[in-house]
Structure 1
Amino acid sequence: MVVSSLPFPVDKDRLRRDAMERRKEFVRTLDDPERTRLERRLAFHLTSVLANARVVAGYAALGSEISPVWAMEEARAVGAVAAYPAFHNPTEPFRFLGADPNSVGLFGINQPPLHAAEVTPDVVLVPLVAIDPAGTRLGRGKGHYDRVLTPLKRNGAHLIGVGWSFQMIEEIPPDPWDVPLDAFASPDGLIRFVKR
């Protein structure tokens, strides 16, 4: 399902606020078993992508974000290294470390311990606020992922936005620094985008 866009120029801050509120409202309707069921369906739809991965980067879900925890377990089951973002310094891009996110890092986000090995993922599961059919991702607005995804994409990593199905909207005006994603995965399926 693609949510229609508005017939006037989009204010990305307003779009972000509205999309985050919609996501919160949706998650409030889910009990724990239903949320787990949907997150397991997400993992099922990622099976083919994860099958040949060497290093899969996920994230520790915040609030109403869909959790890729079951997909990360599946990645481990096929022999991939599971990696998560970790900040060493708030002014530098985060790095992916090959360990579970069981430490609280900068910004209060769970991350691997800083002594874990740095790894380079070939598949990255990317959190998002919204995404459009061109692969334009709307994040939280801090640019952390944009800085990290650019070199990964250049080196051939497969970038997959992960969210609830309604987070696919008609259009997000891209900024020059936006890194287009390769696909969008939700509990309803995997949508691959045409390469630009």
Structure 2
Amino acid sequence: MMDKARLRQHYIEWRQHLSDRQWQDHSQRICQHLLNHPQFQQATTVLTYVPHRREPDLRSLWLLPKQWGLPRVVGQDLQWHCFDGKAEALQQGRYGIWQPPPEAPPIDPACVDLCLVPAVACDRQGYRLGYGAGFFDRLFAHPAWQHVCRWGIVFEVAVLEELPRDPWDQPLQAICTESGILEIS
């Protein structure tokens, strides 16, 4: 089994080689699977992300009448803020990722119905490979966030049987790809 660093490099490079058309097509198919799922349909507060380094693009969903939240990197943590879907309200933060300004209203984790988590790769047991900084693992290990339902968003090619795991890795409840939604039992 490859180590996390080599897997990360492999799948990030794979995403970079997608044509614009392939990236948009795969992303739209992911969005359609989300739109068709009852749990997503019923969710009123959904946390998401701004695509970075060719992550699946969920921005078309921002037009839906939901309370959307985006993360801000603050030190070693993610803080979630309300987002109205207007890209011009965002500012570039650490790592070049677009995020809400610090004065945007915060989101109470008790109100969150679903968190759509970007991933470099996932495995069929619900573990994800991110960029290696541990932001999402620290978030979901915090007692206030443990109840939040979290779905990994990743391209199908990056869903593996098993990923290398560390004791602090936090599992997902489902994985959504362009091929469908895999619910983890």
Shorter-chain TM-score bucket reads 0.7 to 0.9
Distance 1:163 1:128 in 2: 6
Are 1:63 and 2:63 matched, yes or no?
Answer: no
Give TM-score, length-normalised by structure 1: 0.82
Q: Which residue of 2 aligns with 1:38?
A: 26
Hey, what's the Cα distance between the residues in 2 that align with 1:80 and 1:52?
10
Code of the residue aligned with 1:46 in structure 2: it is L
Classify the secondary structure of the residue corresponding to 1:41: helix
Unaligned runs of 5+ in 1: 1-5
2:10 alignment partner in structure 1: 18
Aligned length: 175
Q: Percent identity?
A: 29
The answer to whether residue 141 in structure 2 is matched with residue 150 in structure 1 is: yes
Separation of aligned partners in 1, 2:25 and 2:3: 34
2:76 is aligned with 1:92: yes
Contact 1:41–1:187 (8 Å) recurs in 2: yes
| Alignment check: 8 A CA contact 1:84 1:112 kept | yes
Q: Is the contact made by 1:128 and 1:138 (CA closer than 8 Å) also made in structure 2?
A: yes
Q: Pick which of 140-149 and 91-100 moved more.
A: 91-100
In the alignment, is the contact (CA less than 8 A) between 1:42 and 1:187 conserved in 2?
yes
Q: TM-score, normalised by structure 2?
A: 0.86
8 A Cα contact 1:56 1:72, kept in partner: no
In the TM superposition, 1:175-186 aligns within 5 A as 175-186=166-177
**Root mean square deviation of aligned Cα:** 1.8
Partner Cα distance (2:61, 2:140) in 1:
20
How much does 1:153 deviate?
Answer: 5.0
Unaligned stretches of 5+ residues in structure 2 = none
The one-letter code sitting in structure 2 at the alignment partner of 1:31 is: D
The one of 93, 97, 100 equivalent to 1:109 is: 97
Residue 107 of structure 1 aligns to which amino acid in structure 2? Y
Greater share of residues in strand: 2
Give the one of 148, 155, 165 matched to 1:164.
Answer: 155
Conservation of the 8 A alpha-carbon contact between 2:3 and 2:164: no
Aligned partner letter, 1:98? C
